Amino acid sequence: MRKNKPGQRLAFLSDANVDTLAECLVAFANGDGGLIVLGVDEQGREIETVWEEEAEGSLREAASLCRPPVPSQWQQVEGENGTLIGINVPRSSDLHTLYDGRVLIRSGNWNRPLSGEEVSALAKSKNTAEFETSVVPGARPTDLNRDIIRDYLDRREARGSAKVTSTEELLFEIGATDRDGNPTSIGILLFGKNPQVFFPQSGIVFVKFMGTEPRGEDGTVGYGRRDELTGPLPRIIDRAWNVIFEEMRVGAKVNGLEREELTEYPRFAVREALVNAIAHRDYRISGRRIEIRMYANRMEIISPGGLPGYMTLDNLVEEHFSRNPRLVNGLYQWGYIEELGLGIDQMIEEMTQAGHPPPQFRAAPHAFTVILSNKRERAAVPKWTRSMNERQARALTFVRENGSITNREYRQLCSDVSAETLRLDLVDLVDRGLLLKIGAKKGTYYILK
């Protein structure tokens, strides 16, 4: 297990401690689910044998501490020294608490209690998951595209999932149909012949502007290309990527005898922003489609619907919560999502490694926007940026460009974040030896160490 690390969907427990097990059950059920492996420490070392009888008794007792009880399944996990006991916890449509009233969520590799405001936001988001499995009025089994379903099954099997014996049974299990084979919302969005008949808002509008503003210098419409992309969501992802790549400038640099292609924006960052917009938008909002706006100096991907559940700009990198869990899982099985919950931080790293400023994220009540800048610096930010949040990466970019940063300048960079959070960001960078604090009180500023 040493090659795996505990995180958003994986927990290692050295023993079958009842209280710790109950906390993990609640945290995973309230989030996107996860796997608990017993007899393994946080570094993935197998340190103690946990017997089935012991695990079974602990799980029963732990479940009794959860309100309501958390459903789970036993799962065998292959370890270096034999088979380990795993407990698979699916995402739940209920809001779960511990016996003492705490509501926990998985945050990175630990279980975090939610505040009262976060609990309310999470409870509201739990209700939205019913949209995915609701039967679409007027839709029939013939509205599903069998070729697209076959493509999904082939890619799913290529990822290592078990071979399907009954396509109809699998479609029901993943929530794409009801027991009678009638398509649900997620079924139409993923496999529909023409999903926009039922969900006109599920398409994408791509616009390429000639300058840095939506209008030209003479006040007329400033775009040079406008495409409307339709079809099932996997095909929309492919079509949108092709359009974006056609419009991206491509250059090259030569290292020795090697020629390296340089795109205007890092491929992974663009694809991740695109897939995230499709996976996490609120499809209940009609009248608005996802918009991709390419300007001369930046790309904006705007997704209808604010951040889901308890998610905020502050915890966007460290935590993960899906508004559309079945859609996310479908795109993961299809191969459009590489690893659940790890996209945002890798997007930031790809941008900074390529010498770009970190992505900007804007959260409004009914829209979420990712902004990628095509500005490229001469030197790329080192690889240690992978362990920091987007705000800290932005601060380091500012220091590289300007030589130093003050608390006031950092607050101007991140105006929607509390001053205390930003202060702690800078303290963390100093503690890790990345920044050096100069001066005191109002005269304090920070430089690269």
The structural domains of the chain, with segments of one domain joined by +, span 10-113, 115-378, 388-448
Please, which residues bridge with residue 374 across strands?
Answer: none
Range in 2-11, 112-121, 183-192 with the lowest mean pLDDT: 2-11
3-state SS class at 11: strand
Q: What is the pLDDT of residue 417?
A: 81
Judge whether 400 and 435 are in contact, CB under 8 Å.
Answer: no
Q: Is residue 415 scored above 90 in pLDDT?
A: no
Q: Is residue 263 scored above 80 in pLDDT?
A: yes
> Mean per-residue pLDDT for 245-264?
74
Q: How sure is the predictor about 219, in pLDDT bands with cuts at 50, 70 and 90?
A: low
Structure tokens at 200: 């006109």
Question: pLDDT (tens digit, 9 = 90+) per residue, 111-146?
Answer: 999 999 999 989 888 766 689 999 999 999 999 999
Q: What is the pLDDT of residue 162?
A: 75
Query: How many whole angstroms separate alpha carbon 324 and alpha carbon 341?
Result: 13
CATH of domain 115-378: 3.30.565.60
Integer angstrom CA distances of residue 149 from 62, 171, 185, 193, 339: 39, 9, 15, 11, 22
Q: Supply the Cα-derived Rg of the chain in whole angstroms.
A: 24
> Mean per-residue pLDDT for 227-245?
96
Contacts (Cβ under 8 Å, ≥6 apart) of 116: none
| DSSP structure string for 416-446 | TS-HHHHHHHHHHHHHTTSEEEES-GGG-EE
Query: How many whole angstroms separate alpha carbon 151 and alpha carbon 156?
Result: 8
Percent of the chain at pLDDT > 70 equals 91
Q: What's the gap between Cα 201 and its chain centre?
A: 21
Residue predicted with more confidence, 197 or 213: 197
Query: How many whole angstroms separate alpha carbon 187 and alpha carbon 170?
Result: 11
- Within 10 angstroms of residue 55's Cβ, the number of other Cβ atoms is 21
Q: What is the pLDDT of residue 424?
A: 87
| DSSP structure string for 241-290 | HHHHHHHS-EEEEEETTEEEEEESS-HHHHHHHHHHHHHHS-TT--S--E
Judge whether 91 and 341 are in contact, CB under 8 Å.
Answer: no
Question: pLDDT (tens digit, 9 = 90+) per residue, 372-414?
Answer: 999 876 444 455 555 678 788 888 888 887 888 998 899 888 8
Q: Is residue 89 scored above 80 in pLDDT?
A: yes
384 dihedral zone (left: phi>0; alpha: psi -120 to 50; beta): alpha
Structurally, at CATH architecture level, domain 388-448 sits in Orthogonal Bundle (1.10)
Nearest CA to 39 out of 26, 52, 28, 29 is that of 52
How large is the angle between the packed helices 18-30 and 52-64, nearest 10 degrees? 60
With 0-12 / 13-18 / 19 or more C-beta atoms within 10 angstroms meaning exposed / middle / buried, residue 235 is middle
CATH 3.30.950.30 fits 10-113, yes or no: yes
HSE of 186, CA atoms in CB hemisphere, 13 A = 26
pTM: 0.74
Query: How many whole angstroms separate alpha carbon 168 and alpha carbon 254?
Result: 52
Question: pLDDT (tens digit, 9 = 90+) per residue, 326-383?
Answer: 999 999 999 898 766 667 878 888 888 888 988 999 999 899 999 999 987 644 445 5
3-state SS class at 297: coil
Q: What is the mean pLDDT of the chain?
A: 88
